Structure 1
């Protein structure tokens, strides 16, 4: 038995619990079927439904900017705004609380899946707080070289003038950080 789930099983514990979370119910990737694994118990639900629950690991889907991203840009119902005691003064306050709920469901680790061109503003904030405890990887698990300036972009090799090579942030033009290629 290899990997985390195999180690978990060798410790004599029950199945490793993994919770896959998303912002909106209509984005449910498990609508057709939930995968079954021998040593891993997988559950999937919206951020809202995860409140009060816990798993060993959580995977948060589409932590990117956009209408259905995190924070969501879809406006609240105007009727709901009429019954709220007072409007929030902090931008995306309710979205921030909801993201915090999803982020804190794991006892061992959290994986955030994002669009590398439009990562959520919350990833930048997490980078500032977590520093080196936050690791960026490709979908295959290969390490990505985090931009030291904006902390959400990755340094990628680019062509310069006269066929010279340099590293530039993939968040350009928002981040103009460059470094010499090795």
Structure 2
């Protein structure tokens, strides 16, 4: 019988089985003593939120292989102004640096805007350190993006292509599987595939 877990990945751990520098997502599952468990896809070290862990290789393949075009939705905070023109570029597809092929069209919603000085205290200390030399009045945009690909650091690279810098990124869903917001970062629960 296969097992399926929903994990709220915290900032700072890497999606790997082992790492010499950072804690890994699999460290959180060591108590289960199941060497067949693997992460479904990847989230980079700075990205938080929904990560599925399973020992079902077929399920893993169906959610991660590019040919299945599974939608993944993220909440983001970016340094920069996501103008209507920039949003349209993201929605149509972006040519990422080093790639000859446009990204698939994205779905985008902008929630609100602010300025850096108002939100810097809410950011992870590592991010605060990285952005502290920006002007206090630098615009900040909050929103949601849905993509159906999984290129390396794709959303960060897409935002960079429209002159914005991701400072927070949290995956909230994969297809119909939505992160249980009662899970604190680093917590997990067993689920069953939908």
If the TM-score is normalised by the length of the shorter chain, which range does it land in?
Answer: under 0.3
Higher strand share: 2
Q: Which has the higher contact order (CA 8 A, sep 6+)?
A: 2
Higher Rg of the two aligned structures: 1
Normalising by structure 1, report the TM-score.
0.23
